[in-house]
Chains A and B, each alone.
Chain A
């Protein structure tokens, strides 16, 4: 992609008249691979990039620490606790907008379809529902923290 579309077209025009099915062009700035397929040419490019700093939110550590297994948290006192999980990896928000009151607090009564949080992924706001009738027992992540896919956001003490 360091080359323009026109550059690639020019190279292809040259290649079309030659018997080669592949061109691997390497310079100090980029590598361009062109391949002939039955349907036409393909291109893939590679430019050397700096070592990336990718935010992985602890590489799933958060999810494994708070995620538990299954919807019901086991153990003493865990009876009837239902985990509310992040439907997608993203940013966990407790309120509909900055400055607004949180959807729920510990102790709030909820129904299965109550919106208890938002997870923002790739600029899309995803409503998170309680998933069970009951009371909010625990809020496991801080507002605006990154939630891994499936991370436990809250626990609901389900009505018997």
Chain B
């Protein structure tokens, strides 16, 4: 299998491949030739310079590497080309299995505007909004929806290319910048607007399908975000009414069935628990960064299931066979400095010590000596803890964070440690504005 990615997800996929006895080939840019995933893969193939546009986003280079290596399949990880229909099409043309949904589903899911349309068709509630071609259209639509509005990239995802606009004067700039971010990250500058729902929670449902049957693997709460980047995720979503939880899971499965979904996918919702209401946000047609929390409470290896479906073996799991036990929490440890407005901190990691023990999992791609290039995202490691219940998981998280030590680059570990001890987070059910308010209160916003 060729793994067309880098970082911790490359390590994660290699781990399951090794368990399954699958030989791995990793694509690397010049900046990653000396990376840990490059060392762990059975083979690494250089596909271009450090710039992602010329390496990890280069469909021809990736498929060329797969052909050269004689790979049977490509795992795209998340980000980069994971949701790019061109890669799926190129794989098909080259007779290589693409581990993910087909190109048509990727078109429908990856284009957030098309996904909105499919959600409506599948009977899911959506927020008022629509596409805008220029600043003039944006002003007209925002006027109808009412401020604040959210500017979103149609080709975006993973929180990039999102901006809240509170007044008309900021709209034109926001539309241009969101388009630029999306163009750079995803090669598609289209943007659309949606009403900005404040005080809502971000809850998502994990789907697994084989094109005929679609099941869910429960929900995750990812409300602890800063500028739409998830920081802490947990499963199951806490303090969610059973009726609401069941409705959301059913809506997600209905959406998956509507798309005849194949592989792993996540349906993201905004949730207003007080009103028992939820709205479709987007669907992510790939493995998520936060997938480990689902793995920890279900005991299912999502990458193994993803590979199983890609091999055309059909779902091995039935909905009734998916059980849920305990509570899992994940923290994203990033190379960024919370004391300097979260300035990214590329550099060389000089020391990387992580906690170990029962109920603790660390997914990382860094060790002492690892380079953290400026060209890619800042995720260094994910710390995942489990407990019999949420309270014990949080207690374990506090102890585990205290034992993390990363030197050489600035990290958000101090922030994570502070949050793990925060009464608001411990109470559960925080909304997506929680972290921004907390940072303001801590005088760090």
Tell me whether B254 is interfacial, beta carbon within 8 Å.
no
Minimum distance in angstroms from B298 CB to a CB of chain A: 15
Max count, chain B CB within 10 A of own CB: residue among A41, A97, A124, A146: A124
**B window 343-368: CB within 8 A of A:** 343-344, 346, 348, 351-358, 360-362, 364-365, 367-368
- The contact of A53 among B11, B34, B183, B356, by CB within 8 Å, is B34
- The contact of B403 among A42, A46, A96, by CB within 8 Å, is A42
Minimum distance in angstroms from B336 CB to a CB of chain A: 8
B367 touches A44 (CB 8 A): yes
Complex interface: chain A residues within 8 A of B31 (CB): 52-55
Task: Please measure, in the bound complex, the distance between the C-alpha atom of A77 and the C-alpha atom of B343, giving whole angstroms.
Answer: 35
Tell me whether B371 is interfacial, beta carbon within 8 Å.
yes
A34 touches B356 (CB 8 A): yes
Please count how many residues in chain B sit with their CB below 8 Å of the partner chain's CB atoms. 63
Q: Given A123-B185, A123-B377, are A97 and B344 neighbors across the interface (CB < 8 Å)?
A: no
Q: Given A5-B361, A53-B31, A54-B34, are A46 and B356 neighbors across the interface (CB < 8 Å)?
A: no
Stretch at the interface among B173-181, B238-246, B262-270: B173-181
Tell me whether A70 is interfacial, beta carbon within 8 Å.
no
Minimum distance in angstroms from B231 CB to a CB of chain A: 15
Complex interface: chain A residues within 8 A of B357 (CB): 9, 12, 40-41
Tell me whether B39 is interfacial, beta carbon within 8 Å.
yes
Stretch at the interface among A60-68, A114-122, A135-143, A150-158: A114-122
Q: Given A46-B367, A48-B39, are A55 and B50 neighbors across the interface (CB < 8 Å)?
A: yes
Tell me whether A159 is interfacial, beta carbon within 8 Å.
no
A122 touches B344 (CB 8 A): yes
Task: Please measure, in the bound complex, the distance between the C-alpha atom of A9 and the C-alpha atom of B353, giving whole angstroms.
Answer: 16
Q: Given A41-B355, A55-B373, are A4 and B367 neighbors across the interface (CB < 8 Å)?
A: no
Complex interface: chain A residues within 8 A of B344 (CB): 88, 90, 121-122, 124
**B window 391-406: CB within 8 A of A:** 399-400, 402-403, 405
Q: Could you list some 20 contacts between A and B, CB below 8 A? A: A1-B40, A9-B356, A9-B358, A40-B400, A41-B355, A41-B356, A43-B353, A44-B354, A47-B367, A49-B35, A52-B32, A54-B371, A55-B373, A89-B374, A96-B180, A97-B179, A97-B180, A97-B184, A122-B378, A124-B344
Q: Which 7 A-B pairs have the closest CB atoms?
A: A52-B34, A43-B356, A122-B344, A41-B356, A49-B39, A55-B50, A97-B180
If A44-B351, A122-B335 are given as contacts, then 19 extra A-B residue pairs at C-beta distance below 8 Å, sorted by A number, are A9-B357, A39-B399, A40-B399, A43-B353, A45-B367, A49-B36, A49-B370, A55-B373, A55-B375, A96-B179, A97-B189, A121-B346, A122-B346, A122-B378, A123-B160, A123-B185, A123-B377, A125-B177, A127-B177
